[in-house]
């Protein structure tokens, strides 16, 4: 990654989030207003000569009607949410890494489009990236309920993977899982190793935490020179120093029954 950034970092597009918001607003807005059908990619359309839709694919998102007010409010909310998370991830990753992350997201979702993957996976990858780098950040679910972003991310991923995993485990159908696998591939490349290291280091961190939180073991003050017992072994024992020995302490059982040292 450092080698790539050193040699190709100068080609990184600054403020990529803002550029994608503008292009998404234009492409999706034009498609909604005039029903152009641009940016819709399938294997049949590409082989049929409509390969140019690929260039509009990342900026064509699906938005539905909002209680009779049309798709414009969902489109505005989508762009606003992407601005919040995209601009944050862009700062956290840096221009080059963020550019590469989005580029790989576009390529992998294009490869997954024959298996039902849409351009929304590109933007979902941005959300998952923020949730990984800042898991305890609180967001307002439905603009009302405060919740940590990591739980929202886990719920979304679980919802997407549930049916494909059921098909894979119970029916041995591999194709349903291939689409989400490609859709999440850029995320796994960038953040998967960090998640694995964090998981591997978790038992060590837990052991250190338990060791630091446990009270220190009590230290014995008295110890019998003969039998080695302390007041921790038997609180009823009494200890005395022998006047005929040099700085040696004995329990009550050996105070008068020992060889003088």
If asked whether residues 155 and 244 sit together in one domain, one would say no
If asked whether residues 190 and 234 sit together in one domain, one would say no
Least confident of 26-30, 126-130, 177-181, 220-224: 220-224
Q: Among residues 106, 110, 112, which one has the least CA distance to residue 180?
A: 112
What element of type H or E holds 5?
helix 2-8
pLDDT over threshold 80, residue 12: yes
pLDDT over threshold 60, residue 42: yes
The mean pLDDT value for 211-224 works out to 70
- Mean pLDDT of the residues in the chain: 82
If asked whether residues 73 and 138 sit together in one domain, one would say yes
39: left (phi > 0), else alpha (psi -120 to 50), else beta? left
| pLDDT tens, position by position, 64-87 | 776 676 788 889 988 999 999 999
pLDDT over threshold 90, residue 237: no
pLDDT over threshold 60, residue 18: yes
If asked whether residues 110 and 64 sit together in one domain, one would say yes
| pLDDT tens, position by position, 154-203 | 999 999 999 989 988 888 888 888 889 999 999 999 898 877 666 655 55
If asked whether residues 150 and 42 sit together in one domain, one would say yes
Least confident of 22-26, 137-141, 196-200: 196-200
- For the chain, what percent of residues have pLDDT higher than 70? 87
Q: Among residues 77, 183, 92, 180, which one has the least CA distance to residue 130?
A: 92
Confidence of residue 210 (pLDDT cuts 50, 70, 90): low
Give the C-alpha separation, 261 to 257, whole Å: 12
Backbone angles phi, psi at 148, to 5 degrees: -70, 140
If asked whether residues 144 and 235 sit together in one domain, one would say no
Structure-model confidence comparison of residues 214 and 91, the more confident one: 91
In a domain, 208, yes or no: no
Please provide the DSSP assignment of 164-211 as one string: HHHHHHHH---HHHHHHHHHTHHHHHHHHHHHHHHHHHHHHHHHHHHH
Confidence of residue 211 (pLDDT cuts 50, 70, 90): low
In a domain, 205, yes or no: no
If asked whether residues 225 and 135 sit together in one domain, one would say no
Residue keyed to tokens 């059982």: 253
Give the C-alpha separation, 261 to 44, whole Å: 99
If asked whether residues 176 and 256 sit together in one domain, one would say no
Confidence of residue 8 (pLDDT cuts 50, 70, 90): confident
3-state secondary structure of 239: strand
If asked whether residues 103 and 6 sit together in one domain, one would say yes
Q: Among residues 84, 85, 32, 34, which one has the least CA distance to residue 59?
A: 32
Q: Among residues 80, 103, 75, 99, which one has the least CA distance to residue 89?
A: 99
DSSP character at residue 136: T
Write down the pLDDT at residue 193: 82
Q: How far apart are the first and last CA of the chain?
A: 71
- Give me the domain span that covers residue 172: 2-198
Alpha-carbon torsion (62, 28, 143, 153), positive or negative:
positive
If asked whether residues 19 and 77 sit together in one domain, one would say yes
């Amino acid at each position: 990654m450092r080698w790539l950034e050193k040699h190709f970092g100068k080609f990184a597009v600054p403020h990529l989030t803002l550029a994608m918001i503008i292009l998404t607003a234009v492409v999706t807005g034009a498609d909604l207003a005039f029903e152009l059908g641009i940016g819709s990619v399938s294997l049949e359309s590409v082989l049929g000569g409509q390969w140019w839709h690929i260039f509009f694919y990342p900026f064509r998102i699906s938005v539905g009607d909002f209680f009779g007010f049309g798709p414009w409010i969902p489109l505005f909310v989508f762009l606003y949410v992407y601005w919040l998370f995209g601009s944050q991830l862009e700062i956290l990753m840096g221009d080059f890494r963020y550019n590469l992350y989005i580029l790989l997201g576009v390529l992998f979702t294009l490869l997954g489009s024959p298996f039902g993957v849409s351009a929304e996976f590109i933007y979902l990858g941005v959300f998952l990236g923020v949730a990984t780098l800042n898991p305890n950040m609180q967001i307002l679910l439905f603009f009302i309920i405060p919740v940590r972003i990591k739980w929202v991310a886990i719920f979304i991923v679980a919802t997407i993977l549930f049916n494909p995993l059921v098909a894979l485990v119970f029916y041995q159908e591999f194709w349903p899982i291939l689409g989400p696998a490609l859709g999440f591939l850029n995320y796994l490349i960038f953040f998967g190793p960090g998640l694995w290291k964090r998981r591997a280091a978790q038992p060590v961190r837990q052991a250190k935490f338990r060791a630091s939180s446990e009270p220190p073991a009590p230290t014995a003050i008295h110890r019998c020179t003969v039998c080695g017992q302390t007041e921790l072994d038997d609180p009823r024992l009494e200890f005395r120093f022998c006047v005929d020995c040099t700085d040696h302490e004995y329990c009550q059982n050996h105070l008068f029954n020992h060889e003088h040292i």
